[in-house]
Structure 1
Amino acid sequence: MLLATAVSLTISNTSWGDAYHHFWEFQLGMPPLEKSVEHWINDGLMVVFFFQVGLEIKREVLYGELTDLRHAMLPVIAAIGGVALPAGVYLLCAAGTPAAHGWAVPTATDIAFSLGILSLLGDRVPFSLRIFLTALAIIDDLMAVIIIAVFYTSQLHLPYLLGAAGVFAVLVGCNRLKIMTLPIYFGLGIVLWFCVLKSGIHATIAGVLLAMTIPTAAIERLEAALHKPVSYLILPVFALANTAIVLSADSFSNLLSPLGLGVGLGLMLGKPLGIFGATWLAVRSGLSSLPEGITWLKLLGLGCTAGIGFTMAILIANLSFTEVAQVDLAKLAVIIASFASALLGMAVLWAATKASE
């Protein structure tokens, strides 16, 4: 994804930039499914990514870190803090301005990039920290899905909404009847996607709903099958389509605008302070305790890496604004803040592991 982002930014700022932008705006399909290439990626291809996210959530709830309420309580509390404070920081910067609608952009964590930063430190990072970040990021993803469904749905179309509910009910029935034929679920999933798309709710929600109905025995097999296509095809293509930003002197000066500051400070400060503060309150109040091997400095480093927003943050930026300049500014702020959060997270975690040696 980093390579795809670099390629997209480079091409967008060369003589090929206009042709590159026109490619993503090219219309494909026929009514009622005529969309630009970029929209087909965001509303169609990304459904597969959200399907994978839904499978991860279901697995963690059924037999992962979120199974035991006591174990799940701390990452849940940390995730709530990691969503609430970035939104609050953003609104402190942008409340009362046209950019206020983008309050949810800095609330999202990119689980792949965040875990990737931990993996760079190898055995220096305790396994318990990886588990904690995984659980936190999955809850974070769930909250991002809820935010998209509740706050970024412009107008509901009742017939399609009822159709989606009916298809989802059939899928739940298939699960209850222990039907194991996955093509049946995928066929109904396509119908569910169409109904959700036309209902006014963002189409990617269909991926999560479908994942919730998949038979438990098939979850790990599907996750394994989806890992490479999602990681090496879908997400890089998403990055190519959504980071075609034309850079100028104004682009960087606008980072100091309410929108740019809201996204940047929300990710770089709101995320780590929200996670750290919520966890500290939970531990001090006796609701939970720090997992073995995790120190407060390591937790702060983890909070910094959670400031890597990228995929979800860019998707929410697309949903938050209609003006191209605002969308591009939000995306640029996400990219810069995510990169800074990665470097800061690595530095704090490195210092924390040195201190514990």
Structure 2
Amino acid sequence: MFPLSVLDLSPVASGSTAAQALRNSLDLAQLADRLGFTRYWVAEHHNMPMIASSAPEIMIGQIAAATSRLRVGSGGVMLPNHAPLMVAERFKMLEALYPGRIDLGLGRAPGTDPATSYALRRRQGITEEDDFLDRFNELMLLESRAFPPGHPFANVTAMPSDVPLPPIYLLGSSDYSAQLAGHIGAAFGFAHHFATFDAGEAMHLYRESFKPSPSHEKPYAILATHAICADTDAEAERLAGTVDLNFVRRAKGEYLPLASPDEAAAYDYAPADRARIAQNRTRMSVGSPETVKARLMPLIEATQAQELMVTSMIHDHTARKHSYELLAGIFA
């Protein structure tokens, strides 16, 4: 089986609740475990009514406890929101509890709007500049205990001290992120599902820039993409209406729970909305197993991805589970 994984944002569906969305994530993770998926990553987003996943460390522990084989990780922890010591200790604890099954995926963005970002970071001495690399270096120095003598953190130990950090992945959607992932010796997860940069070029830049690190001796590239699979093309198109309307609403600053396919079909789309939908559909694979396979295989070949990670923002939980069942069949 070609390595196939899940990226889950715990989508909140209209007519349901965020609490139910989190329970759905646990249920989907157990299905992915049974189907032979490689890993299951959960996101960090804030102040978005359509996404229930705001604390990936908590969900990682819950999912790892409810499964037996899956690697479970963050897709990702938004490092600008967190003190590096806190990230180190939380993921060391997870690694201690579930050895060999935890991934530490890091993101460079705050995963929210500017006001919420300020609320998250107001005690941290916020800077307008991108401080990801400074925070990452601090995380690595905490892990290696390599702060120079006299440094304020020289005697700070991330606990539990006898447990290593899990493997590190950098998530990104640009040429800069690809090169940075290679430079720091992380595995790389490219967010094809919302990127405007070419996925094949990003993977090339990553491999070209890669330098071995304690976390990874060789480059490892994951392609994250959006796929909706159903028994027929027509049914998949119906389900994808949810994504179409969600994309249109987000472009207008409306972060509402996921609409049902019926709600999406009844929406009065303007010509500009249709254009946005068409653009977004270039990043999606929608259809029957045969149609989705025909869409995904050239993408995998073009990027030389070593693993495919799929997100599916489907309104109905049963339909979302079935989509992943069909995907597993494609790559079995």
Do these two structures clear the TM 0.5 threshold for a shared fold by scoring above it? Answer: no
By relative contact order (CA 8 Å, sep 6+), the higher-ranking structure is 1
Larger helix fraction of residues: 1
Larger strand fraction of residues: 2
- After TM superposition, the score normalised by the length of structure 2 is 0.28
